[in-house]
């Protein structure tokens, strides 16, 4: 193998290594975020069960459930509502 070919092969190997590292990092991030999504779903399920239990307890004690427990809003909707309030008040202009 000539020196020129060896240099070309060495350069090629140097440029291939980072792309492999990027792929490995991307796979790690995908696994991480998949795990976070599963955790969020488990937490949401647990919170719904707790809310149902609280509703039953409050109803047994003759408390107006709707006055105590407000319906859950999705986070995106809540954020949009807060943004609209700021825009209407003129604080973001």
Q: Are 25 and 33 in contact (CB under 8 A)?
A: no
Residues for the chain: how many in total? 93
pLDDT at position 36, please? 82
Give the Å distances, CA to CA, from 62 to 5, 38, 52, 53, 71.
86, 36, 15, 14, 19
Cα–Cα distance for residue pair 34/40, rounded to 1 Å:
10
pLDDT computed for residue 87 by the predictor: 46
Instruction: Look at 49 and 33; give whichever has higher pLDDT.
Output: 49
pTM for this model (two decimals): 0.44
| Between residues 89 and 51, the one the model is more confident about | 51
Least-confidence region, from 25-29, 49-53, 75-79, 88-92:
88-92
| pLDDT tens-digit map of 3-38 | 777 777 666 665 555 556 666 777 777 777 888 888
- List the chain domain ranges: 3-89
């Amino acid at each position: 193998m000539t020196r020129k070919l060896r240099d070309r092969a060495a350069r090629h190997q140097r440029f291939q290594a980072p792309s492999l590292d990027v792929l490995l990092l991307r796979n790690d991030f995908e696994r991480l975020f998949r795990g976070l999504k599963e955790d969020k779903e488990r937490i949401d399920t647990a919170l719904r069960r707790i809310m149902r239990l609280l509703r039953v307890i409050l109803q047994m004690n003759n408390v107006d459930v709707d006055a105590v427990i407000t319906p859950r809003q999705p986070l995106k909707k809540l954020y949009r509502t807060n943004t609209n309030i700021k825009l209407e008040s003129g604080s973001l202009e």
